[in-house]
Every structure is written in C-alpha cells, then in structure tokens.
Amino acid sequence: MATTAPPPTTTTSFTFPREYHFPPFFSRQTQATTHHAQCSKWSALIRAYSRAHKVFKLSLIDALDGELFHNAALHKRLSLEDARDMLDFMCREGRAEWIGAEKNVAWIWWRSPDEWAAAIADWVDQTGQKNSVLTLYELTESEATISQEFHGMDPELLQKALSILVKRGKAQVFGQEDQQGVKFF
C-alpha cells in the first residue's frame, strides 16, 4: 500500500511543474515574498504529487531521496530542514498535519478528511448503498471502488473520514476491531 514511502518513479506519468526544473527552487529563499511564493509552489507540488501517487502519509526521511524532493537531473535536493519548513507552511494552510511531535511523518491533505467524508458519502449515494452494511475493507480494497479516489486509502484516514460522517449522523461504524463495518444513512 502507498502509505509512507512514495512508490517507484516509473509507475505514473506525473509531470512536474516548471519550477521543479529551476535550481533555486531547491534552496531556501531569503527574501520574504519570494520565500512565501516558494512555499506555496512547494505546497502545490507536494499535494499534486501525493494525489498522483496516492500518498496519504508522507515520511520526510524516505521522501527526501525520492524524486519529489530530489531532482536527479539537476543534482539538487531539498534539505530536511527546508522540507520541514514547507510542511510547516502546509500545516498553517491546513493542507497537512504532522503525526507525532518529532515532525517526521505528516498527513498530506490533498483532500482534507472533510472532503474525503463527502467523497465517500457521494459514492454511497450514487451507488444506492444507503442503509446497507459495508466493511471498511470493502470500501478501500474491493473491486467496486477501484475507480474511486479513496481506493487504497490509508485505514487510519478512512476512520477519520468516517468519524466525521458518524458525527453528522450519516453513518454508523460498528463491529469489533479489525473487522469493522459501516452503515450509511
């Protein structure tokens, strides 16, 4: 599953933006406005990349050697510190969230849990599965959801999204640990 480490580079046809091929993009900009622009560009890039590769959790240590932070053609890479800065910036935007205080792994909200909840609810609505019982495994792993963006979703994130629906009274999660199911209303 694509959770912590970005998958190998060959699997998708993700096209990097123009800035990615511009060496200064990888070094911290000193001028405040430039730095801000750099941060927003990185934020957009990280989200687009995560969406294309279905990365839900980004591990910085692993990602630093991946193509996202390391442009092999330019021999340029983002330092750990700068990468953390970028993710801090995304956290302030509400587009990322650190997991743990060590700031090594972060959720990348290319869709926020709220948006995920809406996507799942929409899918259930469209497929007429209200009032029927679905397993959590079925939601993310079965053939029925292959065309959906939440296919292969991180189980923890799924729980978060479902808990939002539960709070709104649109779903009910039940069953034992590891064998949970959900009923939509």
Site string for other proteins, 34-73 (x = CB under 8 A): ----------------------------------------
Phi, psi of 134, deg, nearest 5: -125, 145
Q: Does residue 98 interact with other proteins by CB under 8 A? A: no
Q: At 117, which helix (H) or strand (E)?
A: helix 113-126
Q: Does residue 177 interact with other proteins by CB under 8 A? A: no
Please work out the total of residues on this chain that contact other proteins, with binding judged by CB under 8 A: 19
Residue from 75, 102, 174, 177 binding other proteins (CB under 8 A) = 174
Residue from 135, 148, 159, 163 binding other proteins (CB under 8 A) = 135
Residue from 108, 120, 134, 165 binding other proteins (CB under 8 A) = 134
Sheet of 133-135, strands arranged across:
133-135, 181-184, 171-174
Q: With respect to other proteins, which residue has the nearer C-beta, 80 or 166?
A: 166
Sign of CA dihedral 62, 66, 68, 70: positive
Stretch that binds other proteins, among 19-27, 29-37, 72-80, 134-142 (CB under 8 A): 134-142
Cβ partners under 8 Å of residue 116, min gap 6: 150, 153, 157, 158, 160, 161
Beta bridge pairs of residue 108: 96
Which SS3 state, helix, strand or coil, does residue 7 take?
coil
Q: Name the residue among 57, 67, 64, 61 with its Cα closest to residue 98.
A: 57
Q: How far is the CB of 165 from other proteins (least distance, A)?
A: 11
Q: Does residue 142 interact with other proteins by CB under 8 A? A: yes
CB atoms under 10 Å from CB of 174, counted, come to 9
Residue from 1, 61, 74, 133 binding other proteins (CB under 8 A) = 133
Residues near other proteins, by CB under 8 A: 132-135, 137-138, 141-142, 166-169, 172, 174-175, 179, 181, 183, 185
